[in-house]
Amino acid sequence: MSNALRFSKFHVLGNDYILVDPTRGAFDPAPRAVQMLCDRRLGIGSDGLLLGPLEVPEHPGAFGLRIFNPDGSEAETSGDGLRIFARHLFEAGHAHGTECKIHTLAGLFEARTHDGNHIQVDMGVPSFRAGDIPFTGISSQLEVLETPLFLPSGPVTITALTLGNPHCVVFPGEVSQANACRLGPKIERHPEFPERVNVLLVEVMDRRRIRIEIWERGAGYTPASGSSGAAAAACRRLNLVEDRVTVQMPGGSLDIEFAPEGHILMSGPVQAVFEGQIHGDWKP
């Protein structure tokens, strides 16, 4: 098994990722290979794949990370993926101390560890501007706040934003897995979201707690996601919550804090599951 692919498996409240560290061996993240590794019958099974650390010549000292959805497409960023990767960097000895910088397609992110498996990531400052998301339903200079989106089944009211990747927040009344699976695919691939979009169904419990169900771009329904930060950001922008919010998901809860300068700080546990290797005979 000298050609075996080594990997680690982590999850955040049930949102699971395969992590491939290229310092342990080469890996070509071709879409078909990613699809098969993420397949729960034919591969390891996961909601996505993380590849890193990679060199980032333009940002010395930062650790490069590529993030892949289970359909093989590459994502700009992922809150849960960043926190999983940060835990790996600290445990594998790539990063020293309690803080590190991670570079993805969406830019630089700062992560810190509190007690080994509890990781906080600064997700940056959200933008609700249509041109940044992107969303083509209104002028690119306008913010997508409580805007109608027309579906075959009728209009829904959305608030959309980007945290390096696009998110669409809906307050549908019924926040359930069934409704996420009904609305999610229609909104994810709506033509007014040309790069597709993560879909978040939100219920505001009180000014410090919200409850969400999630349909992720390229992954489908998931019991937990770093998209919780985007859901909280939409609620904060609409003045529905305070500066500290607990986001409840089917898989568990994450804590979101809004720093004075607008940055979103996401904190919560990261659970290591197992390490292993794919047999050298395995082919995508």
Q: Which pLDDT tens digit goes with each residue over 214-255?
A: 999 999 999 999 899 999 999 999 999 999 999 999 999 999
Is the pLDDT at 8 greater than 60? The verdict is yes
Asked if 162 and 256 sit in the same domain, the reply is yes
Q: Please check whether residue 131 lies inside any domain of the structure.
A: no
- Based on the domain organization, do 119 and 18 belong to the same domain? yes
- Statement to judge: residues 235 and 215 lie in one domain: yes
Proportion of the chain above pLDDT 70, given as a percent: 99
Q: Give me the pLDDT at residue 283, please.
A: 84
pLDDT value for 140: 98
Does residue 170 share a domain with residue 60? no
What would the mean pLDDT of 75-94 be, rounded to a whole number? 97
- Are 165 and 254 members of one domain? yes
Question: Which residue range forms the structural domain that includes residue 228?
Answer: 147-260
Q: Render 252-284 in DSSP notation, one character per residue.
A: EEEEEEE-TTS-EEEEEE-EEEEEEEE-TT---
pTM: predicted TM-score of the whole model, two decimal places: 0.93
- Domain CATH number, residue 218: 3.10.310.10
Query: What's the domain count of the chain?
Result: 2
Residue 204 lies in a domain: yes
Residue 126: partners with Cβ closer than 8 Å, 6 or more residues away: 161, 162, 163, 230, 233, 237, 262, 264
What is the pLDDT, as a whole number, of residue 193? 98
**Interval 107-125 mean pLDDT:** 93
Has residue 223 been placed in a domain? yes
Q: Is residue 129 part of a domain?
A: no
Kindly state the average pLDDT of the residues 193-197: 98
Task: Indicate whether 2 pLDDT > 70.
Answer: no
Rounded to whole angstroms, how far apart are CA atoms 75 and 94?
23
Do 89 and 119 belong together in one domain? yes
80 shares a domain with 25: yes
Tell me: pLDDT of 131 over 50: yes
Give the model's confidence band at 115: pLDDT under 50 very low, under 70 low, under 90 confident, else very high: confident
284 in any annotated domain: no
Q: Is 161 exposed, middle or buried (0-12, 13-18, 19+ CB in 10 A)?
A: buried
- The answer on pLDDT for 9 being more than 80 is yes
Instruction: Give residue 1's pLDDT.
Output: 39
Domain match, 210 and 249 both: yes
Beta strands 63-68; 99-104: pairing state: parallel
